[in-house]
């Protein structure tokens, strides 16, 4: 498991020529995404999203569970030990239902400490030594970059689709 920040409102900062686009102010709205995979990167657990709003307006009054994903809120939108332990309990319950065992490798960040009162049956957590995560976590070997690229691609396709819809509506007049 590894977390990454995703700046969901940030537009591309380079053009096709790969030159920086001058004069654009970067929108810093972000969400933290925790990606968890097996060692080979072939089996992925649903991502965990961490934002700052307890009930984001974009959810339309529904809960994240109703919408089909895991979402938690913290003041700065970062992983906390309470969120990590709640997520562990949730994943442990899911693994128990699937009759699976799961070893979760995490870096040695303070939020990744398992609380003494967190009893896990099907998930084991092992903390990696300092300065080894880039070599051992599949997320750092390209999964995070691939995830971000795919989401950004879908955002741009959606924006182009909306522009085309508007243009098609004008052409009908």
The predicted-structure confidence for 8-39, as pLDDT tens digits, reads as follows: 666 665 555 566 556 666 666 778 988 887 76
Q: Higher confidence at residue 139 or residue 20?
A: 139
Where does residue 77 rank: exposed (0-12), middle (13-18), buried (19+ CB within 10 A)?
middle
> Is residue 99 scored above 90 in pLDDT?
yes
User: Which pLDDT score, from 0 to 100, does residue 166 have?
Assistant: 84
Q: Higher confidence at residue 68 or residue 143?
A: 68
Mean pLDDT confidence for 44-52: 88
> Is residue 53 scored above 80 in pLDDT?
yes
Distances (CA, A) of 157 to 16, 70, 93, 145, 154: 16, 25, 36, 18, 5
Contact 47, 69 (CB under 8 A): yes
Nearest to 139 by CA among 62, 35, 48, 13: 35
Q: Higher confidence at residue 39 or residue 48?
A: 48
Largest CA distance in the chain: 67
User: Which pLDDT score, from 0 to 100, does residue 88 have?
Assistant: 93
* Per-domain residue ranges of the chain: 2-129+136-141
User: Which pLDDT score, from 0 to 100, does residue 117 have?
Assistant: 93
Q: Higher confidence at residue 25 or residue 131?
A: 131
């Amino acid at each position: 498991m590894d977390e990454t920040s995703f700046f969901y409102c940030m537009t591309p900062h380079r053009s096709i020529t790969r030159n920086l686009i001058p004069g654009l102010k970067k929108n810093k709205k972000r969400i933290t995404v925790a990606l968890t995979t097996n060692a080979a990167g072939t089996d992925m657990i649903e991502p965990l999203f961490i934002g700052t709003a307890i009930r984001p307006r974009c959810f339309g009054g529904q809960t994240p569970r109703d919408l089909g994903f895991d979402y938690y809120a913290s003041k700065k939108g970062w992983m906390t030990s309470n969120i990590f332990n709640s997520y562990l309990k949730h994943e442990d319950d899911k693994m128990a239902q699937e009759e699976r065992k799961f070893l979760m490798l995490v870096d040695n960040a303070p939020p990744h400490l398992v609380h003494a009162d967190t009893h896990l049956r099907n998930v084991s957590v092992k903390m990696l030594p300092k300065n080894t995560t880039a070599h051992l976590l599949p997320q750092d070997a390209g999964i995070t970059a691939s995830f971000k690229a795919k989401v950004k691609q879908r955002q741009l396709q959606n924006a182009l689709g909306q522009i085309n819809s508007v243009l098609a509506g004008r052409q009908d007049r």
